[in-house]
Structure 1
Amino acid sequence: MSQINTVRGPIDSAELGRTYMHEHVFVLTPDVQQNYPDEWGSEDERVADAVTKLRALAGQGVRTIVDPTVVGLGRYIPRIQRVAEQLPELNIVAATGLYTYDDVPFFFHYRGPALDAIVGAEVPDPMVDMFVKDIEVGIADTGVRAGLLKCAIDHQGLTPGVERVMRAVAKAHRRTGVPITVHTHPGSEAGLHVRRVMCDEEGVRPDRIVLGHSGDSTDVEHLTSLAEAGFVLGMDRFGINLETTFEARADTLVEMCRRGFAGQMVLSQDASCYIDWIDPNLMAALPQWHYLHIENDVLPYVRERGVTEKMITEMLVEVPRRYFENVDTY
């Protein structure tokens, strides 16, 4: 058993229980929210709404959510602390890292490796120390320590900025041992870039990495190859059915279970209490995109098609526990 950092403090891995491995509380654009606060409205009402929605999730037996909201997604831990304090029945694991599909933020343009050519020597990346501080000391002055690392690669591919963040996350992992989740784009086989950079070149074990959004793909041969390489597959966007269907997502999960990979998959919905990236009118086109969809709709569907209770427990309890427990020593 291992100690895992949550927003309310460390817990033993045995206390994780049923875990959704990719759920946000808030996804925001801070510059917009700070300058146009009418869009956000009442802070107290937003927090109360989050507590109500997450309490309903806990009422379904979910004990832990992993919230991979990092810089680039509007992470603000004091707000998450207010939510967590009112939900003793639910653990929230916070993340550190940086979310970009292409370039790094301007803050990093003339810091770290960006200066190598100017000074004629290798300059350490300040991101690494920033991420390590979040894990070992705490995020800002909140006292909340991050429990995992997060980066992203989408259809734009392995741009210099994406690669820089990916390597910084890998280095922070090697210093701290906390696991990694990567937003990926399986349609362009982005997981192969993760394998080369993070595993082959930076030395991260594949079983310490969740390849997020693997369930966006129905290419079970590609998913099988990633599972056989040792990665954990994030089947974690149930309810987002604009470019696919409920059945396509669920049938892919069924097939991967049939192939024997229940022990290498985790489930989630990538939902949030509020996300300002999407016009509220568009949310009406996503009626299943909420915290309760897996229990209400996905699990009954896959049970009818041969996914056993043992497999469900593996994906929701055993795989998350192993993911956090298998701490490496480098």
Structure 2
Amino acid sequence: MIPTLTGTVAEDALGRVLMHEHVFVLNAELMINYPAMFPEDAMVERAVTVLKEVQATGIDTYVDLSVMGTGRNVPVLHRIAEQVDLKILLATGWYTYHEAPVFAQLNGPGRLFDGPDPLAEMFIQDIRHGIGQTGVRAAVLKCSADKYGMTDGVMNVMQAVADAHLETEAPIFTHSDPGNGTGLAQQDYFESRGVDLTGVVVGHCGDTDDLDVLRRIADRGSVLGMDRFGLESRLPYEARVEAVVRMCALGYADRMVISTDSSVFSMNFPDAHRRDHLPLWDARSVMPRVVADLRAGGVGEDDIDQMMQHNPARILGSASRREDA
């Protein structure tokens, strides 16, 4: 069974899944020191409205990949989940492009204070027993690498993610930058640790329409996160659609998932900018716009079901199937 914010669900009940989204992208220190920046009651109401609209388009499950470093707040998310029928899954990990948190730099194997890796211990706790005292278990692991490449801090987190995966078998989702090859580097590291790459979703592969890059990642078994539809500043919408159409024609539908990486509210992106410059960067656009345009480009229903339902069920249910074996 797969853990959600409000209980567990069987993999065959996931339905259509958005595999890389966010309810909120926040900054915990800003929330503590400047609470007016996040009026909780109003934001919960806003999120409930948006997520009901997401579900009304035909989406059944929403994977929220906000982790520590992006303001994951389980009690607030639980308030939202109780008011919607959408199944919401959570992640554990730490989001950084450069440095790991100081406590993780100082504590752990071979560090100033030698001992167990505190990040790995947290991630395993989140998956096995629940996040903090909430009782809500994380369903997946998350790590990031971007313009700075595979820094010491990025590797610190990736090591902990690999340790937690090998202990729990929870699937791994990444943030990568196809422009500098971090997705391939993530695969290299995880493979060196004995991770089965078929359980790794390499995020933001949809930021490129270079099919050679996409095929190099997919041919190693990982799933391509074609997950930023509408983020025009990274790649135009039409190019994203065409890349998925062409990859489906080449037989890669079984190694792609569709999403937007958008959020109901983000402290990083002003609402006005998103409204004026990124109107399609919205989870509510996937079924009525993205999927419709994929169909118009020649992608068949079997491939759409593969990307929206079967691939997510296979990935998200992998750990629970092993637990039940």
Tell me the TM-score normalised to structure 1 length: 0.94
Deviation (angstroms), 1:302: 1.5
Match of 2:233 among 224, 242, 257: 242
Q: Whole-Å Cα distance in 2 between the matches of residues 141 and 97 of structure 1?
A: 17
For residue 127 of structure 2, give the secondary structure of its aligned residue in structure 1. helix
CA contact (8 A) 2:90 2:139 kept: yes
Deviation (angstroms), 1:106: 1.8
Report the more deviating stretch, 72-81 or 298-307.
Answer: 298-307
For residue 96 of structure 1, give the secondary structure of its aligned residue in structure 2. strand
Q: Whole-Å Cα distance in 2 between the matches of residues 142 and 155 of structure 1?
A: 34
Q: Which position in structure 2 is the counterpart of 1:158?
A: 150
Q: Whole-Å Cα distance in 1 between the matches of residues 104 and 41 of structure 2?
A: 34
Match of 1:278 among 266, 269, 274: 269
Deviation (angstroms), 1:240: 0.7
Q: Which position in structure 2 is the counterpart of 1:54?
A: 51
Report the more deviating stretch, 280-289 or 78-87.
Answer: 280-289
Q: Which position in structure 2 is the counterpart of 1:17?
A: 15
Amino acid corresponding to residue 136 of structure 1 in structure 2? R
Q: Which position in structure 2 is the counterpart of 1:36?
A: 34
Q: Whole-Å Cα distance in 2 between the matches of residues 205 and 117 of structure 1?
A: 28
* Matching of residue 227 in structure 1 with residue 218 in structure 2: yes
Q: Which position in structure 1 is the counterpart of 2:301?
A: 309
Q: Which position in structure 2 is the counterpart of 1:85?
A: 82
Q: Whole-Å Cα distance in 2 between the matches of residues 83 and 127 of structure 1?
A: 27
Q: Whole-Å Cα distance in 1 between the matches of residues 177 and 111 of structure 2?
A: 31
Q: Whole-Å Cα distance in 1 between the matches of residues 112 and 282 of structure 2?
A: 48
Match of 2:134 among 142, 145, 170: 142
Q: Which position in structure 1 is the counterpart of 2:124?
A: 132
For residue 273 of structure 1, give the secondary structure of its aligned residue in structure 2. strand
Q: Which position in structure 2 is the counterpart of 1:168?
A: 160
Deviation (angstroms), 1:118: 4.7
Q: Structure 1: which 5+ residue stretches go unaligned? A: none
For residue 144 of structure 1, give the secondary structure of its aligned residue in structure 2. coil
Deviations 1:116-173 (A, max 9, x none): 2657xx6331111110001111111111000000000112111011011111101101
Match of 2:66 among 65, 69, 92: 69
CA contact (8 A) 2:106 2:112 kept: no
Matched residues, number: 320
Deviation (angstroms), 1:109: 2.6
Amino acid corresponding to residue 284 of structure 2 in structure 1? L
Deviation (angstroms), 1:225: 1.3
* Matching of residue 106 in structure 1 with residue 98 in structure 2: no
- CA root-mean-square deviation: 1.3
For residue 231 of structure 2, give the secondary structure of its aligned residue in structure 1. coil
Q: Whole-Å Cα distance in 2 between the matches of residues 311 and 28 of structure 1?
A: 35
Q: Whole-Å Cα distance in 1 between the matches of residues 54 and 129 of structure 2?
A: 30
Deviations 1:194-232 (A, max 9, x none): 111111x21111110000000001111110111111000
Deviation (angstroms), 1:183: 0.4
CA contact (8 A) 2:143 2:174 kept: yes
Q: Give the percent of matched residue pairs that are identical in Structure 1 and Structure 2.
A: 41
Q: Which position in structure 1 is the counterpart of 2:260?
A: 269
For residue 80 of structure 2, give the secondary structure of its aligned residue in structure 1. helix
For residue 24 of structure 1, give the secondary structure of its aligned residue in structure 2. strand
Amino acid corresponding to residue 232 of structure 1 in structure 2? V
Deviation (angstroms), 1:107: 2.4
Q: Whole-Å Cα distance in 2 between the matches of residues 175 and 59 of structure 1?
A: 37
Deviation (angstroms), 1:293: 1.3
Q: Whole-Å Cα distance in 2 between the matches of residues 144 and 52 of structure 1?
A: 23
Deviation (angstroms), 1:30: 1.4
Q: Whole-Å Cα distance in 2 between the matches of residues 194 and 169 of structure 1?
A: 11
CA contact (8 A) 2:265 2:271 kept: no
Amino acid corresponding to residue 202 of structure 1 in structure 2? R
CA contact (8 A) 2:58 2:287 kept: no
Deviation (angstroms), 1:304: 1.3
Shift of the 254–30 alpha-carbon distance from structure 1 to 2, 3 Å rule, reads: same
Q: Whole-Å Cα distance in 2 between the matches of residues 100 and 230 of structure 1?
A: 25
Shift of the 118–127 alpha-carbon distance from structure 1 to 2, 3 Å rule, reads: closer
